[in-house]
Amino acid sequence: MFKIQIRSPNGLGGKTAPSFKDSWEVLRSAMSMIYDGRVGELSFEGLFNVVYSLTLRRQGAELYEKIGGFFEEKVCELRNPAIESSTLNVLSALLEVWDKHCESLRLISDITMYLDKVYCKENRRQLVYDMGLEKFRGLVLKASKDDVHSLMGKQINDARLRSKNVDFQSLKSLIAIMETLTDVNDTYYLTEFEPSLLEETKAFYRNFIQNYNSEATSYPKEVQALLKDEQEMDAKFLNQDIVIKIRTVVEGILVSENMQFVGEQVIPELLRKGMYSDLGLMFSLSRAPQEKKRLWKQCSQYISNEGLSIAEDFSLKKRTQVAVKWVTEVIALKKKYETVLRDMAEDDSTDVKAVNEAFSVILNQNGKRNADFLAMYLDFLLRSSTAEESTKMQMEETIAMFKLLREKDVFERLYQQQLSKRLLQQRSSIKLEKYLVNRMKDEVGGSFTLKPEGMFRDISVSQINNSKFHQSYQIPYAYDMSVLTWTCWPFQQTSNEKDIILPTALESVKLDYENYYMKTYSGRVLTWAYHLGSLDIGFQFKKSYHVITMPIYAAIIFMLFEDHEELTAQEIGELTNIPDNELIRNLLTIAIAPKTRLLKKQPMSKKVLPSDKFRINYSFSAPTTKVKVLAVLNKAESETQQSSGNGGLTSDILGERRQNVEAAIVRVMKSSQKLYLDQLFEKVREAVALRFQLDLDTLQTSVDKLVEREYMQRDPDDSTFYHYLP
């Protein structure tokens, strides 16, 4: 490292010192020659002595000001021709001015070295070289910044438009100059040019957005290409920190500021056309959490709209077929978007949340109907299951949708009805049934599965009893009895079925079973539910032999014709004691229904009168040996099914809801003692949320009833405030 030593000039002792004016003229002339490039004509040692002498005579301040004035004059002299150049030459001309000015400053600072050391440092003034740079900053760049910044911005925008007439080297050099020139705050680049550059960048890309007329689906790749081109271009003349700042600005314009277009047009079109890689690109371009949140919301909204467009297929004959097709399509849609959106998510929950929000809308738009459809779909799966693992997978998919359903009590009612039939008819795998119940228990709690678990216990105990019964009694035909706990099964108990007159063979086995049961379980009483049972009867008709599975009541009626050739409806009723509604229902089933017309009716009509006559229809035939007779729906069942199909609630479900709401109100009020109505609503809604969605009208009705029954009272001064009454 070199160390500069300043030696006192020789020969200053006895001579009379020249005046400041004369000395300054010498220096001024010399500095002008330096700017003119006539350095070889100068004696730097003599010039140094002049500065030394002036500084020594304490004329440094005046000299410093004079030099500053000279710099101002020279900078302006150099600047004006450069600024007045043609547009293409201005930037290069400014660089020439800078180069000449800096070279001149370097030489002049050699002459003013003593002034820098003594005067500038002692008085905390800028060194002469730095003062010269400051003059360039103020009188060249800052004074003409509008023109300079505009020209640089135009060059940069030309580069963005892929113009070939862009002088990147000049841009890079000018940026370097701006980063060199500082004031008390920061560099000229940061305080003056960067804000201008960023605003120009914003204006350019906002103009791009305003004039964008390509397909919405092209937008993600367009943005990606623009960002890539911008980054490559910026790297040619800007440092990496500035490149990153500009990228952030461009992303903000193309994505953040344009989020309405992206959300409302780009995302739906990408999903509609299945352009999932472009969708993923759009997600990766959206960096801010709020942007991603909006994209997820738009995805969810699109999915829900697509799901809501899945309509019932009314061309199918059976409602179960309609339900199975609808649920199958909804599950397929859910699986599709779970797969599609999984790659877009940055964590394990974002995509799941978006899909669940969409399917919550789909399932609850017509919640009561869809609750029925899910139950019917599970019934179909369990009745037709072949491969256990695939059935479990399908059940898991259904449970995932069941969790999103708000009308869980509607689902529960139909599910329990169908479960009871599957268990009694032995139409499904007990292992799969229990798997499903356990999974539901995991998801919604044990209260939902209490009755199904009770059904399983009854069936298990009944199977054991049937085995023991057959070991103890010699029964000439297959006979299985299910002993049911009424509180677990969704059936209404009838009061007069004990008076039914059974055929001798059935009466005998009934008495045998009662005898066995009383010995095994002393103190218990059996009540027979004939309307739940079925019987297989083999019969030879004229043309064919058939094994007919029919309801017990229908079988009792049919077996009467072993001893009677013809009977009236009234006589059949007297011989069987079957309740009138069940009698008419079963006569319609086996005498009117076209596919199961086992009896002939005279006269032939769709109504059954007491005087109508019945006899066996020996000309009956069917394409299969086994024939299943399904009882026609009575009026109550028909209304229930119609209510379910139309999305309405049956009276028993509404009644059960009122009971649940009232019980929840009492629990909440007992705990809180006093609450406003809106507070009570929130707490009760949360309490019943696992079963159904509470509305304010239902709550108010229940509150009014509890007030009447003196479980709670309204505040005398505020009718929306309630007190619990112990």
Q: What is the pLDDT, as a whole number, of residue 497?
A: 62
For residues 214 and 13, the model is more confident at 214
pLDDT at position 496 is 60
- Tell me the average pLDDT of the chain: 89
- Rounded to whole angstroms, the Cα distance separating 34 from 32 reads 5
Q: Are residues 172 and 288 in the same domain?
A: no
Whether cis (ω within 30° of 0) applies to the bond prior to 476 is no
Residues 514, 529: Cα–Cα separation, whole Å: 14
Q: Are residues 201 and 283 located together in one domain of the fold?
A: no
In this structure, is residue 116 part of a structural domain? yes
Helix H, strand E, coil C: the string for 436-447 is HHHHHHHHHCHH
- Coil, helix or strand at residue 535: strand
3-state SS class at 501:
coil
Q: What is the C-alpha separation between 466 and 472, in angstroms, rounded?
A: 10
pLDDT digits (tens, 9 = 90+) for 381-417: 999 877 888 999 999 999 999 999 998 889 999 999 9
Same domain, yes or no, for 309 and 363? yes
Residue 646: pLDDT band by 50, 70, 90 thresholds? very low
**Domain around 114:** 20-210
Q: Which helix (H) or strand (E) holds 537?
A: strand 534-540
- Mean pLDDT computed over 328-351: 86
Residues 293, 398 within the same domain: yes
Is residue 98 scored above 70 in pLDDT? yes
Question: What pLDDT, on a 0 to 100 scale, did the predictor assign at position 281?
Answer: 94
Least confident of 449-458, 475-484, 554-563, 705-714: 475-484
Tens digits of per-residue pLDDT, 342-355?
A: 888 776 677 888 99
Contacts of 42 (CB under 8 A, 6+ apart): 30, 33, 34
Q: Which tens digit of pLDDT belongs to each residue from 492-511?
A: 766 566 689 999 989 999 99
Q: Are residues 312 and 373 in the same domain?
A: yes
pLDDT exceeding 70 applies to what percent of the chain?
A: 94
Residue 14, pLDDT > 60, answer no
pLDDT at 361: 94
Residue 590 — very low, low, confident or very high, per pLDDT cuts 50/70/90?
Answer: very high
Rounded (10°) CA dihedral 414, 418, 421, 423: -120
Distance, CA of 707 to CA of 701 (rounded, Å)? 10
Last residue of a domain, one of 613, 642, 671: 642
Q: Are 374 and 411 in the same domain?
A: yes
Q: How many domains does the chain have?
A: 4
**Are the C-beta atoms of 441 and 434 separated by less than 8 Å?**
no
The CATH number of the domain holding residue 692 is 1.10.10.10
C-beta of residue 172 within 8 angstroms of C-beta of residue 236: yes
CA distance 513 to 708: 50
- Supply the CATH number for residue 130's domain: 1.20.1310.10
| pLDDT tens, position by position, 592-632 | 988 999 999 999 888 999 999 999 999 999 999 999 998 88
User: Does a structural domain hold residue 229?
Assistant: no
| Residue 356 domain flag | yes
pLDDT at 352: 85
550 vs 678: CA distance, rounded Å: 55
| 539/618 Cα distance (integer angstroms) | 10
pLDDT on residue 11: 46
Strands 718-724 and 674-676: antiparallel
89 against 46, higher pLDDT: 46
Q: Which of these, 566, 551, 571, lies nearest to 497 by C-alpha position?
A: 551
Whether residue 642 is predicted with pLDDT greater than 70 in this model: the reply is no
Q: Is residue 114 part of a domain?
A: yes
Q: Is residue 598 part of a domain?
A: yes
Residue identified by tokens 């869809």 is 370
pLDDT at 560 over 90: yes
pTM over 0.85: no
Give the separation between CA 617 and CA 598, rounded to whole angstroms.
5
More confidently predicted of 164 and 12: 164
And the tokens for 353?
């949340």
Give the strand order in the sheet containing 567-568.
Answer: 567-568, 613-616, 599-602
Which three-class secondary structure string do you get for 141-198? HHCCHHHHHHHHHHHHHHHHCCCCCCCHHHHHHHHHHHHHCECCCCEHHHHHHHHHHH
Residues 601 and 689 in one domain: no
Residue 483 counted as domain residue: no
Q: Say if residues 586 and 557 touch (Cβ distance below 8 Å).
A: yes
pLDDT band at 644, cuts 50/70/90?
Answer: very low
Same domain, 392 and 448: yes
pLDDT of residue 648: 52
Judgement on whether residues 666 and 701 belong to the same structural domain of the protein: yes
Residue 121 C-beta-side C-alpha neighbours within 13 Å: 7
Mean pLDDT of 172-191: 89
Q: Tens of pLDDT along 427-441?
A: 899 999 999 999 999
Show the 3-state SS of 95-138.
HHHHHHHHHHHHHHHHHCHHHHHHHHHHCCCCCHHHHHHHHHHH
Residues 6+ apart with CB under 8 A from 189: 175, 178, 179
Q: What is the pLDDT of residue 87?
A: 56
* Mean pLDDT on 240-244: 93
Question: Among the listed ranges 283-297, 303-317, 333-347, 532-546, which one has the minimum average pLDDT value?
Answer: 333-347
Residue 18, token pair as written in the block: 């020249």
Q: Is residue 417 packed enough to be buried (19+ CB in 10 Å), middle (13-18) or exposed (0-12)?
A: middle
Task: Mark whether 117 and 175 lie in a shared domain.
Answer: yes
What is the rounded average pLDDT of the residues 123-143? Answer: 91
Task: Answer yes or no: is pLDDT of 195 > 50.
Answer: yes
For residue 637, pLDDT over 80 is answered with no
Token reading at 632: 């026609």
Which of 169, 185, 210 is the last residue before a domain boundary?
Answer: 210
Kindly compute the dihedral angle of the four CA atoms of residues 637, 639, 640, 642, in this order, to the nearest 10 degrees.
Answer: 120
pLDDT for the residue numbered 1 = 37
Comparing 486 with 87, which gets the higher pLDDT? 486
Kindly state whether residue 134 falls inside one of the protein's structural domains. yes
Residue found under tokens 């003594």: 118
3-state SS, residue 217:
helix
Residue 599 burial by Cβ neighbours in a 10 Å radius (0-12, 13-18, 19+): buried
DSSP state of 140: I
Does the CA dihedral 412-413-418-420 come out positive or negative?
A: positive
**Quick count: other Cβ atoms within 10 Å of Cβ 543?**
9
In angstroms, the Cα distances linking 70 to 61, 105, 256 are: 14, 12, 51
What is d(CA 598, CA 594) in angstroms, rounded to the nearest whole number?
9
Could you tell me if 635 and 664 lie in one domain? no
| Structure tokens that stand for 292 in this block | 């991603």
Q: Could you tell me the two tokens for 158?
A: 């030309």
Report how far residue 250's alpha carbon sits from residue 256's, in angstroms, rounded to the nearest whole number: 9
Final residue of a structural domain among 210, 240, 255: 210
pLDDT of residue 85 exceeding 70, the answer is no
Pairing relationship of beta strands 626-628 and 674-676 according to DSSP bridges = unpaired
Could you give the C-alpha distances from 180 to 1, 102, 152, 173, 501, in angstroms and in order? 24, 12, 17, 11, 112
Q: How far is CA 602 from the centre of its chain?
A: 64
525/498 Cα distance (integer angstroms): 12
User: No. of H helices and E strands in the chain?
Assistant: 32, 9
Q: Does a structural domain hold residue 256?
A: no
- On whether both 455 and 498 belong to a single domain, the answer is no
Task: Give the separation between CA 413 and CA 433, rounded to whole angstroms.
Answer: 16
